[in-house]
Chain A
Amino acid sequence: MVRKCPIRLGFVFALMDEARPFIREWPMKPVHPLPGFSFFQGEDVAAVVTGMGSERASAGTTALLSWIYTENRALAPHRFFGRTSRLPDFSLFNIGLAGRIDRNPETLGQTFLIHRLRHQATGETFYPDLLYRWEGVPEASLTTVAKPVFGDSAKEGLDADLVDMEGSGILIGARAFLQNHQVHFYKIASDLLSPMKNLRQTTGPWLQQSARKLVPGLKRWLSQPPESPPLTEAQFVWMHSVAEKLRFSFTRTKTWEQLCLSTVLQGKPLPLDYHPPANLSKKDQHEQWHHMQKLLGVTKP
């Protein structure tokens, strides 16, 4: 599939059974950008199925985000300039099954928005920034464990409403790319800490229901245009070509970028028609640096 627009939404699923209703509802098709995991993509969404457990979830999330980062950057590099997030205009959703710790059967099949996530092994706690709330989706806390837990005795020390095996791994995998407000967790209460027979038959309709509830809302969110970047693509490309031709150091490149940004934000044009000569001597490069500042109307940065 030749991509026309950046990917703005990503899903991480542990199991294919969890992914299927969402992939169908969207829809998405299988793709093979990297080995090791199953990937899917739609027009501006992508998904990975990682397999169970925190380590696989972490590795799968990183793989998904690396792929999206490369794709989005190639498509619209100017959208990355000056942004705090390494992968701007993007949100990641983990949707999956979780055990209900209070063993309340009335909650089975219910989708929960997670507002606190604890990694049992390290005790580390994460609070997602809740920017979206859904009608009819209550909130819950989640603890991620290393091994499946069964029975009342397993409840000890979990200190949460739900338990899963992937949540904190996804967070770890996303950390290098995303800010907190870009990562969201939705969990469907699937069991009461007892081994389940016929998992697919029982949870299939619940997942289907959850997909029907969440996908239209996410599509609505996607239909809103992303934040406009401070520089247009042409301005960004010119700014970079000048820095490359004049072989600016890292620090000078940062100063140069700040000057260009400031010029544009003051409503002044960048001299896009001016292209400094390449392969200059050190002395001429220095002179060109002063010349570029003058062109931007700055004498002393």
Chain B
Amino acid sequence: MASYAKTSGRDETLSSVIVPSPQRSFSHLYIEKEALDEPDTKLLRKRFPKATVVEIDRYTELFNRSGQSFAAQKAVPKLILAKKREDLLYRGSPYTPNFGHRRFFYNAMILNCLYNCEYCYLQGMYRSGNLVWFVNSGDFFQAVAEELKKGPLYLCISYDTDMLAFENLLPLCARWAEFSRKEPGLTIELRTKSANYRALARNAEAHERFILAWTLSPEAVSRRYEQGTPPITQRLASAREAMEAGWPVRLCFDPVLLEGEWEEDYRQLFAEAFAQIDPKRLQDVSVGFFRSNRDFLKTMRRQRPDSALLNRPWQADAAKQLTYPTSEIEEARATLRSELLRYLPEGKIHFA
């Protein structure tokens, strides 16, 4: 997989790195001793020349320890560079839309996210708010190549993070785009809230099996709950640019929050989105309502005791996911579907 360890050859300075406030840089890099010589480690160290390097044995001793505060760490996150030795590829969860692909997988080359969405399940899943970057990227490509021998697969590469937000640091998304171009059985979805499309475009060319999926929320929801993410206008501008360059683009309205004037907010959001994005060229849209498993929500509430959103009395659905009452979801689904049908055919609308 050496060819995928290649970088753009550009020496982007830190000032061009799009990372959200409050942290435009990392004060510390914790690096596994075994990862010190990986090419990606060396590249990332160059990106943060002023960071203090602390050598560690295994990332788990730092990331998985008890007694951490996700919220406190999220305020000043540290970057951990490590090697992933197992679980390089996971089967997709039945609660995630698979868009008709039978063999749905995801991987996690980065754990945690630069953004800080109030509803994010990562704060219920991980004990740490720090970021882990697995620098043995070749092994991840190898794992997918092995799985491809068993049949075509659909792979989500930005599952437990927002990978495009990191693209100025290392062109990981571009590497996957180039990899999938050469693997006819592989379709990749890159889900993002970032407006960092140009960083991908610098290093990869569009092709039909690399789907760029932008998550959108009404501006009021985004401002209130999606701390650090680019405004919706910037995300849409990025999506439009990508579509014009020939990338398949998906729009994800997920999680839908039934708050305030949500019907009007979504009407406006769809109007704004489809004024920018040609519905005929759009791959499809995906819609999902807020949902969480009970254990994650319990942890998320502990991390954010002041969150009105997380602390409301959610109800368990048939799949034991905590969400809005079924009747409210059904009504909202009908409303959103009929609004989307003004722009798109039925076949392009997927509900999670």
The residues of A with any CB-CB pair to B shorter than 8 Å are 81-85, 115-116, 125-127, 129-131, 133, 139, 141, 175, 178-181, 228, 230, 258-259, 261-262, 265-267, 298, 300-301
| Contact pick for A265, options B78, B303, B306, CB 8 Å | B306
Do A262 and B68 form a contact, CB below 8 Å, given A115-B52, A131-B75, A230-B305? Answer: no
| Contact pick for A179, options B30, B57, B69, CB 8 Å | B69
User: Are B27 and A179 in contact (CB-based, < 8 A)?
Assistant: no
User: Are B311 and A258 in contact (CB-based, < 8 A)?
Assistant: yes
Which of B59-67, B156-164, B187-195 lies at the interface with chain A?
B59-67
Report A-chain residues with C-beta under 8 Å of the C-beta of B56.
116, 125, 127
| Contact pick for B73, options A178, A181, A301, CB 8 Å | A181
User: Are A82 and B305 in contact (CB-based, < 8 A)?
Assistant: yes
Report A-chain residues with C-beta under 8 Å of the C-beta of B302.
82, 84
| Contact pick for A115, options B54, B75, B76, B307, CB 8 Å | B54
Report B-chain residues with C-beta under 8 Å of the C-beta of A300.
315
A255 to B93, alpha carbons, bound, how many Å?
29
Report B-chain residues with C-beta under 8 Å of the C-beta of A83.
305
User: Are B307 and A131 in contact (CB-based, < 8 A)?
Assistant: no
User: Residue B312 at the A interface, CB < 8 A?
Assistant: yes
User: Are B72 and A179 in contact (CB-based, < 8 A)?
Assistant: yes
Report A-chain residues with C-beta under 8 Å of the C-beta of B313.
258-259, 262, 298, 301
A115 to B54, alpha carbons, bound, how many Å?
8
Report A-chain residues with C-beta under 8 Å of the C-beta of B73.
129, 181
Report A-chain residues with C-beta under 8 Å of the C-beta of B30.
127
User: Are A181 and B311 in contact (CB-based, < 8 A)?
Assistant: no
Report A-chain residues with C-beta under 8 Å of the C-beta of B27.
130, 133
| Contact pick for B54, options A116, A129, A175, A265, CB 8 Å | A116
Report A-chain residues with C-beta under 8 Å of the C-beta of B306.
228, 230, 265
Report B-chain residues with C-beta under 8 Å of the C-beta of A181.
68-69, 72-73
User: Residue B308 at the A interface, CB < 8 A?
Assistant: yes
A85 to B71, alpha carbons, bound, how many Å?
12
Nearest Cβ on chain A to B29's Cβ, whole angstroms: 11
A228 to B306, alpha carbons, bound, how many Å?
9
How many residues on the B side are at the interface (Cβ–Cβ under 8 A)?
29
The residues of B with any CB-CB pair to A shorter than 8 Å are 27-28, 30, 52, 54, 56-57, 61-62, 65, 67-69, 72-73, 75-76, 78, 301-303, 305-308, 311-313, 315
User: Are B69 and A125 in contact (CB-based, < 8 A)?
Assistant: no
User: Are A262 and B62 in contact (CB-based, < 8 A)?
Assistant: no
Query: Which residue on chain B has the smallest CB distance to residue A81?
Result: B305
Report A-chain residues with C-beta under 8 Å of the C-beta of B301.
82, 258
Report B-chain residues with C-beta under 8 Å of the C-beta of A139.
52
User: Are B76 and A131 in contact (CB-based, < 8 A)?
Assistant: yes
A229 to B130, alpha carbons, bound, how many Å?
25
A81 to B305, alpha carbons, bound, how many Å?
9
A179 to B128, alpha carbons, bound, how many Å?
12
Query: Which residue on chain A has the smallest CB distance to residue B299?
Result: A84
Nearest Cβ on chain B to A268's Cβ, whole angstroms: 10
Query: Which residue on chain A has the smallest CB distance to residue B303?
Result: A84
User: Are B67 and A125 in contact (CB-based, < 8 A)?
Assistant: no
User: Are A175 and B311 in contact (CB-based, < 8 A)?
Assistant: no
Do A261 and B68 form a contact, CB below 8 Å, given A127-B56, A127-B62, A130-B28? Answer: no
The CB with the most chain A CB atoms within 10 A, among B303, B306, B313, B315, is that of B313
User: Are B61 and A125 in contact (CB-based, < 8 A)?
Assistant: yes
Nearest Cβ on chain A to B193's Cβ, whole angstroms: 25
The CB with the most chain B CB atoms within 10 A, among A83, A129, A265, is that of A129
Query: Which residue on chain B has the smallest CB distance to residue A139?
Result: B52
Q: Which 3 A-B pairs have the closest CB atoms?
A: A82-B305, A265-B308, A181-B72
Report A-chain residues with C-beta under 8 Å of the C-beta of B52.
115, 139
Q: Give me 17 other A-B pairs in contact (C-beta within 8 A), A116-B56, A131-B75, A258-B313 excluded.
A: A84-B303, A85-B69, A126-B65, A127-B54, A129-B73, A130-B27, A130-B28, A130-B76, A133-B27, A139-B52, A179-B72, A180-B67, A230-B305, A262-B312, A265-B311, A266-B312, A301-B313
